[in-house]
Amino acid sequence: DPNGKHFRQDVDGFHLLSPKMGISYHLSDFGNYLWSMDEKCPTENHIIGTALKVLKKEVLPTTCGVKVSTWNTAEGWQRWLEDKVCELRTGAEQRGGVSVGLILDKDGFEVGSCGISHPYFAHATTSPIREILVALGGPGGIDEAVMQVLEQRGEGHGLHLGLMRVKLPGGLHHSCVALNDLLQFHDQGYLYPIMEDSRSLRGSYQKWRTYLARA
């Protein structure tokens, strides 16, 4: 973060999900905890080690900003994920807008810009995008059951706009590289306008992008 913080201030949380465990890092609180420990350069030991200390009850989640959840039922991960989506949805509504998910997909619309940091088409949005969930999977992608939860849309539950499928210039990317590219688009002021235009044009956005690239 350019302001001297450990983590970006525009990213509220980082969540990890496995079949038996979920880990949530509230980045502002976690960063303050590391500063209180005089840890200026976070390492793997700080990131993973803190979660292990919470799991062993050596550190309180309220102290460090890291929460570890475990479950023994097959539905445990689903409830955990639904709760995270609900938190995001509520946060967007409190800020007068809507929530949406972003996922990498080779058949999605391409994230690109012509150097203009405002929408081309979505100029009168009454409920702007306020919260974005970026979903990243491992080498095998994201499990279908997880996708079903993220794609849920209904009255009072799920992401307001569901999932937007995007692809990045240059073909397939490692998850870390893809996340960095998306955040760079956000830093340049391009990501929100691209998403609002795609929302406005629906399936026609990629066609417009293709025609524009040929001009």
State which amino acid sits at residue 146.
V
Half-sphere exposure in the Cβ direction for 155 (13 Å, CA): 0
Are residues 177 and 104 in contact, defined by beta-carbon separation less than 8 angstroms? no
Enter the pTM of the model.
Answer: 0.84
Per-residue pLDDT in tens (0 to 9) along the chain, 215 residues? 445 567 888 889 999 999 999 999 999 999 999 988 877 788 889 999 999 999 999 999 999 999 999 999 888 999 999 999 999 999 999 999 999 999 888 788 777 766 667 777 777 677 899 999 999 887 778 899 999 999 988 777 899 999 988 887 766 667 777 788 888 888 888 888 888 888 887 767 667 666 666 66
Nearest to 47 by CA among 18, 24, 22, 19: 24
Nearest to 95, CA basis, from 182, 191, 10, 184: 10
Vertex 172: Cα angle to 170 and 173 (nearest 5): 95
Query: What is the bridge-based pairing of β-strands 163-167 and 98-110?
Result: parallel
